[in-house]
Every structure is written in structure tokens, then in C-alpha cells.
Structure 1
């Protein structure tokens, strides 16, 4: 996952964490699990800052990079983020090994799911959470999906996930397992470059009106979370607006 565009960040307590596990998700994406920091309290959809030591122009220095959490708050044995390899920060993080200690700060961010407020618009409860993600933008929506399902909340969840090819689908096995184990969870995977993926027999093309209508029968009863590259988020927001979705029903997180 690349760094989200963020407003001014208010200083938050830093924590030392140990890298517990690294998993290769796709050719250029890895998930990183860290020990759960003492006193750390976050909401689904928030992000952390990781302090990374790098060498730039022959000079050793520290840089901070923001990465959304993919873990859910009740997973208190660890916190997890999913990172796409791009730039000095992710390159340095990819060099770290199991057992290494890093410094993080956070949590930050307003792209959150809060049961008591996130499913209410215009004073009424919304019963359908729709998560739209592209590529490594899955990270925060995955945290939200994990939280809702692990908490057994009485909400319907539809996850629309767009990727270039099926080989780029992060956490595919887990998403398919969610579909098999939870009646209130529906998954819609689509690839935008099917010509490069002859073995793919699922949905193809960009997220469009047809796909939205297939996933959401009543847009007035849904709260939409859009996460991914700016072009994807803007496209989906415009599409939802054309379908009559109120802007208060749309939460967005754009990545560089």
C-alpha cells in the first residue's frame, strides 16, 4: 500500500514494535505484522507512521511513511499493514526481517468505521456497508471488513475490489473465505486487463454502473467507503453521484 494523502498530522505517542511476520501477497506487495503496542487504540480504517532509516544522496537519515492498518482492533496479538513496493520508504521496509524493531506513531486518519456513528446518515441507520478498493487500496477496507465480520455486526457488507489482473489480487484467499463463511458478506472481484490474464473467468473492466447496481440494490441504504489511487476514487465518487448517492454516504481515501 502506498501512502495516503493526509491533512496536517497532530503529534501522537510513538511506540516500539517488533516485526513478527512478513508475507508475500503479490509480486510487489507484502504484509507486515508487528507486535501490538502497549496502550495502542485504533479504529478500523486508520493508519500509522513508520520511522525508517534510509540513505539518500549518501546521507543517512530517518524518513516517516504512512501506512494504513489492515488488521482489526480486536486482533490484539498484532497490528498489520499491507505495503506495495514503491519509493525509498517501502524499499527500506522490505529490507527489514522478522525480529527487527521499528518505531511507529499513531493512529491517525478519519477514514474510519465506528459502529455508533458510521452507519447513520440524516439521522437514520444504514444497513449496508459497501467497500470499493483498487490494488493496494484494499488495506483500510480490509480492516473494516474484518472488524464488522469478527464483531458479528448485523450489517450487510459488499466488497468491490478492482485489480489489473487476478495475480494482483491481495488477500484473495481470505476474501473468498469470508464469502464462504458469512452470509452477510458479498465479494465482487474485477480485473481491468483481462487480455493479460487468460485464465481469469470472472468480472472484467472498471467499476461501472452495472457492477454497482449488482452489488447494491438500494443505494439509499448504503454507506460507501472508497479507497485507492485518486483516479479510481474520483471515478467511483462521480459514478455514485450519478446514481443519486448523497455525498454524506461516501467516505474517501486517496493514495499517491
Structure 2
């Protein structure tokens, strides 16, 4: 059954980083879509209907009245959004679809591996689990170049305070030696994953971000850790 395309007003445009912006797209009156946390929407500008881009929702299914997407300056659409999108502008939105869904089961541990803007759907994962006070463990392993590239750092730290089952771990890959960062450095490794996921049988791995990171994670999980593909969910772009 085809989904209705809806024109939505940009209610807020928030700069997360100099090259990253979150758009809040306000639902029109009497619009109440059925969707799930972790899905993506496809958007296009009214004046360029043939150029469409899909973005993971950075909001969750319990955030009513709006969708949020968080976009890096990349390509025609990303550049226009980051540099020019402003409250009052409108975008056409194809409603959410996708199967990159959190498994909210009490005994499960969701290990969410991200690079760059690939962390955006995991904001939704953590939000819903926190809103619902779920006991499902969620751990984000987030790879960035430097501390200046961390998206949602403050919100994730606040969610850690509210939710004892949520952890946000960052590793930096290109910091100068003299940088005062006291956290982890280097790429995501099998050893780091094993130190986090101590009950492999009940762990579900998610990987989202650039193709190289997602494919590298797939190799780590399936080859080095020897886990079945059923325990791994992937979402990649570019």
C-alpha cells in the first residue's frame, strides 16, 4: 500500500556541529503516522522533487508531533540543509520505513557501533528505552576523528544519568598526542567489543555509518568473533 507524501514545515533547525544540523519537521494537523524507532524518512525540497535523500530518524517513535533528522554537510541535499535550511521552510516527507529496529527485550544487550552521523538512529534507541524505563542494556561505541566531531554528546551524557542501563562510549582516531582527551583512542576493535559485550549469546550488534565502518564491523562480528549474522543489523551509506 503506497504511503502518503506529506509537506512538513521545519519547526526548528539546530546546529549540532559546524557541519551538522538537526531538523525538526512538524507534523501537519490530523497526521498521526504508525512507525517505529530506528526507521528512516525520505525528504525532498518543493523546488527539486526529483532529488530525494533518505535520513535515519534521530527522534524516536514516542516523540509525537514531529520527526527529527540529523544531517551532515554532504552532497547536494546535506549541503543545502546544513547551510540554508531554516524554520519556516518546508520539505516533502515520505513516511518512515526500514528494518533497523531496536530489540527491546529485557535480557538483551544492544551494542550500537557508529561512525560520524551514523550515531543518529541510536539517539532514538536510547530515548525510547529511557522514556519507557526499559531494562534492556544499550551501549554505544562511537568512533570519531576528534572530540570536536561528537554529535549529541551532551544529550547522551544526560541519558546516561537518567538510564542506568545505557552507556555512551567514544573513541577518537585522529587526536594529536598532546590533546588532553582522557578517553579511548584508536579504532573499534574486537578486544574492545569483547570487553563490553560479556554475554555474547544475548547481544545484538548494530552498525551504522560510512560503508568502511559498517563493513569493518561486519568482519569483526562475523569473522573475528564468529557470531551468526542473525545477531548483526547493518545500516550504511556513502
TM-score normalised by the chain length of structure 1: 0.85
Indicate conservation of the 8 Å contact 1:166/1:197, yes or no.
Answer: no
Equivalent residue for 1:188, pick from 140, 163, 169? 169
Structure 1 residues 148-159: aligned runs within 5 Å: 148-159=129-140
**Off by >4 Å, runs of 4+ in structure 1:** none
Structure 1 position 126, deviation (Å): 4.5
Indicate conservation of the 8 Å contact 2:133/2:163, yes or no.
Answer: no
* Residue 78 (structure 2) pairs with residue 93 (structure 1): no
State how far apart, in whole Å, the 2-side matches of 1:18 and 1:245 are: 44
Report the RMSD for the aligned CA atoms in angstroms.
1.9
Equivalent residue for 2:66, pick from 75, 78, 90? 78
State how far apart, in whole Å, the 1-side matches of 2:91 and 2:32 are: 17
* Residue 226 (structure 2) pairs with residue 244 (structure 1): yes
Which stretch has the larger CA shift, 36-45 or 75-84? 36-45
Gaps of 5+ in 1: 1-9, 55-59, 120-124
Structure scoring higher RCO (CA < 8 A, sep ≥ 6) equals 1
Structure-2 residue corresponding to 1:146: 127
Report SS of the residue matched to 2:100.
Answer: coil
Report SS of the residue matched to 1:93.
Answer: helix
State how far apart, in whole Å, the 2-side matches of 1:16 and 1:74 are: 21
Gaps of 5+ in 2: none
Give the 3 Å change call, closer, same or farther, for CA 246–92 of structure 1 in structure 2: same
* Residue 24 (structure 2) pairs with residue 24 (structure 1): no
Indicate conservation of the 8 Å contact 1:43/1:113, yes or no.
Answer: no
Aligned residues: 234
Structure 1 position 196, deviation (Å): 7.5
* Residue 197 (structure 2) pairs with residue 216 (structure 1): yes
